[in-house]
Structure 1
Amino acid sequence: MKNINRKNQLYFDFGRDYEADLDNFFFSSKNSILKSELDEILNGSINQKLFITGNKADGKTFLLNSFLNHNKIKQLQSIYIDVSTLNKNENYLEGLASFDLVCLDNIHKIAENIEIQIFNLINECKATKTNLILASNGNPNELNYFPDLISRFNEFKRCRINPIDDNDVVECMIFVTQKLNLNFSEELIQFISLRIRRDFYSIKMTLQDFDKFLYSEKKQPTKISAASFLKSYLN
């Protein structure tokens, strides 16, 4: 945790990743609405309430951290909290309604004694300019919290990090190879794309591991070397 001294109060950034970069988040075509909502905040919108859902490996935590690391957000008073780490009888969220941006992660893992704190924070933020972004594996109505808190969650704009589908795989692979400076031909990318799992983490790890394989085996990036790698890698 990193201590943050703001307005004579001591806060903690719970679980922050200060290296995450928004330029490294792949927005597939189906995630254009989510990107648009985040762009609104970057462009100065206030009092936005956004509830982001997605599967476990879809990058919610990375997205929140990289968004907070954006140059425009760095100029603001902001904080990231992984609420799944809060379980003591302390008022962790007191005073956060004065912040410009509050990001609460893992909303689906709230301890019972923290529910009322989040409920109170949402109510307090209604009277301020605070942008509030929540991230969860499940939609509000799938969560087992007290009804008034679920009602507050349902007032948020809802966006989902949609999984990468077949039409986005090649584009995603090109995105990753460019970010990692991997010199793979389009023909090779097409070949691997037919044999790779459809989530960003798996795509990135497969391409990185293939590059390591090429280095260790002193091979060139070809369909033959890819077939040899994938035969053992996917089994």
Structure 2
Amino acid sequence: MNQLGLPLSLNSKMLLSNFIGKKNQQVLDFFNQLLTQKGSAVVFISGVKSSGKTHLLQGCAFSALDEQLDVIYIDIKQELPEGVISDLVPIDWMCIDNVDYLSTIQQQALFDLYNRIKPTNTKLIISASGLPNELNLLKDLKTRLSLAVTFTLETLNDEQKILIIERKMVDININSKVYRYLFKVFSRDLNDVLNVISILDKASLQRKSNISIPFVKQILSI
């Protein structure tokens, strides 16, 4: 996988095959069709925090890799080398996550990249917390992104979040009551809960204890 030496890696559990949400099925169908289509395409994915934007973009990257395509995934929220976007060369699939965190220089670089992929077969997949016209971006870039194929991911309920956690933490045996307790007293953010479950799992292995609600209270002091 071409990552241009970036200190980023993909989460092998973020696949299109385990991306959930009934209203999100049209997004999955579109990307599955896009994998076999020629010509360039720009797709804009919007959604609130924990709606699955990163999961979807990384899932696209894995699916493209399965098709023996060249792929790059970049998360703008991560620390990146200076000029990383301006140095990009259009390849088969380019997934750029969290573009609402772009600096002014990066915005100009993305605008230039958008124009460079037009005569190619590049699929440029972009995500942000809002629609293009809702973001604080350069006018020219906002105009370009407004022309993209746009999807807004549905907001997940607790049951859907629990299903995602169970699929990602398949090696960890935890009663769903623990998840609901964490949503209630710790955080309703999916990424926060996934991170704390990893901490709880390590603690449970060290103490040779099951992850129960009393155990969660003890470890997290909540």
TM range (shorter): 0.7 to 0.9
C-alpha distance 112-40 of structure 1, shift in aligned 2 (>3 A): same
* TM-score under structure 1 length normalisation: 0.70
Q: Highest Rg: 1 or 2?
A: 1
Q: Relative contact order: is structure 1 or structure 2 higher (C-alpha 8 Å, sep ≥ 6)?
A: 2
Return the alpha-carbon distance in structure 2 between the equivalents of residues 215 and 90 of structure 1.
42
Note the C-alpha offset of 1:86: 6.1
How much does 1:132 deviate? 0.9
Structure 1 CA distance for aligned equivalents of residues 163 and 12 of structure 2:
21
State the secondary structure of the residue aligned to 1:102.
Answer: strand
Of 175, 194, 198, the residue aligned with 2:180 is 194
Aligned to 2:198: 208
Residue equivalent to 1:103: 95
Counterparts of 1:154-193 in structure 2 under 5 Å?
154-178=146-170, 181-184=171-174, 188-189=175-176, 191-193=177-179
- SS at 1:182 equivalent: coil
What CA deviation, in whole Å up to 9, does each residue of 1:201-220 have, x standing for no partner?
23333443443444344334
Q: Aligned to 1:167, what secondary structure does the other structure show?
A: helix
Deviation sequence 1:160-188 (CA, Å, 0-9, x none): 3444313314423432342xx2234xxx3
1:53: which partner in 2?
Answer: 46
Equivalenced residues, count: 213
Structure 1: stretches of 5+ with no match in the other structure: 5-10
- Aligned partners of 1:51 and 1:134 also within 8 Å: yes
Query: Are 1:117 and 2:112 counterparts?
Result: no
Find the counterpart in structure 2 of residue 92 from structure 1.
87
Give the CA deviation at 1:14: 3.6
Contact 1:13 1:80 in 2 (8 A): no
**Paired position in structure 2 for 1:75:** 68
CA separation of 1:50/1:89 partners in 2, compared to 1, >3 Å: closer, same or farther?
closer
**C-alpha RMSD over aligned residues:** 3.4
Q: Secondary structure, in 3 states, of the residue corresponding to 2:158? A: coil
What is the identity, as a one-letter code, of the residue corresponding to 1:78?
V
Q: 1:91 to 1:172 in 2, by over 3 A?
A: closer
Distance 1:87 1:109, change over 3 A: farther
Over residues 42-88 of structure 1, what are the superposed CA-to-partner deviations in whole Å (9 max), with x where a residue is unaligned? Answer: 3x134332112234555544543453234645611332344563655
Q: CA deviation at 1:131?
A: 0.9
**How far apart, in 1, do the equivalents of 2:7 and 2:45 lie?**
18
Q: Distance in 2 between matches of 1:234 and 1:36?
A: 44
> How far apart are the structure 1 equivalents of 2:165 and 2:75?
30
What TM-score does the superposition give when structure 2 sets the normalisation length? 0.74
Secondary structure in 2 matching 1:158? strand
Q: Identify if the C-alpha distance between structure 1 residues 203 and 109 changes in structure 2 by more than 3 Å, giving closer, same or farther.
A: closer
Report which stretch shifted further, 65-74 or 134-143: 65-74
Identity across matched positions, percent: 23
Partner of 2:26: 33
Distance 1:220 1:87 in 2: 45
TM-aligned CA distance change 1:173 to 1:18, over 3 Å:
closer
State the partner residue of 1:131. Answer: 123
CA distance in 2, matches of 1:208, 1:106: 24
Name 1:8's counterpart in structure 2: none
